[in-house]
Homo-oligomer: A and B are copies of this chain.
Amino acid sequence: MLTHAAEDYLKSIYKLQEKGGKVSTGILAEHLEVKPASATGMIKKLKTMKLVRYERYRGVTLTAAGKAIALEIIRHHRLLELYLFKALGIPWDGVHEEAEKLEHVISEDVEARMDEFLGYPTADPHGAPIPDKNGVVTQTASIPMTDLQNGQSCVVAEVSDNDSALLRHLGSFNLYPGTAFRVIEVAPFEGPFTIDIAGQQVVIGREVAKHVFVDQVQDPDNV
C-alpha cells in the first residue's frame, strides 16, 4: 500500500499534467505546498516504484500504474465530496477539505456503497467529473466564463473547488453547476461581468469569473 503522501503526489502530478502539460519539480512542489527539495525526494521514490517517469531537470510524467492510482484517489475525493454534500448536508465550500482527509482512508466497499447511494453520479458538487471504477473520466467540454460575450446564455459546468471563500461567494449568487445565466454586459478593459440569474441581476468580478466554467453557450435569440 502507498503512503498518503505518495498518493497526494500522484494526484497533484495528474492534475498538473491535465492542465499545463509539463510538470516540473517546482510547479509540483508549489501545488503540494512543499519545498522543491522535498518534491525531488518523493519523485525519486515514486520512480523506483515505477509510478512515474523521471529524468533529473526534465520533469515528471505518470506511468499507466501511477495514473491509475491518481484516478482512484480522485474518484475517492469527488465521490466523498458529493456524498458529504448530499447525504450529510455539508456546505459545498467545506467538502473539499473534508474529502482531502478521507480520500486516503475509505475502503473500496465504502466507496461502492456511497456510489450506489448517490446513483452512480458523474460529477461532484463543483462540477468536476468523477472517474468511474475503471478510471475512465468523462470530460465535458466547457469554456471559461471570461470567454463569454454580451447577451450569451449558458449553464455553469464547473467551478474551482479549492477556495472556500470563492465558493461561498459563488453560492451566495446561486452560481452552482447546472445553474443557467445570461450575460447582460461585459465591462470593457478586463472589467466585471453583469449577469442575469433567474431574474436576479448580479455583478461578478473578473478574477472570480476566471474560476467559473460554462457549458451550452447560446447566442442571443432576439436577433
Contact = CB atoms under 8 A, between A and B. Distances in A.
B87 A109 contact: no
B110 A98 contact: yes
Nearest to A87: B87
Contact of A105 (B88, B101, B107): B101
A201 B98 CA distance: 48
Contacts of A101: 105-106
A88 to B, nearest CB: 4
Contact of A94 (B106, B109, B114): B109
A110 B87 contact: no
Interface string A65-103: 000000000000000000010011110001000100110
B98 A113 contact: no
A117 interface: yes
Contacts of A114: 88
A100 to B, nearest CB: 10
Interface string A109-127: 1100110010000000000
Nearest to A88: B113
Contact of A88 (B84, B90, B98, B110): B110
A90 B110 contact: yes
A107 B101 CA distance: 10
Contacts of A110: 84, 88, 90, 98
Contact of A106 (B89, B102, B109, B117): B102
B94 A98 contact: no
Contacts of A87: 87
A106 B88 CA distance: 13
Interface of A: 84, 87-90, 94, 98, 101-102, 105-107, 109-110, 113-114, 117
10 contacts: A87-B87, A88-B117, A90-B109, A94-B109, A98-B107, A98-B109, A98-B110, A102-B102, A102-B105, A105-B105
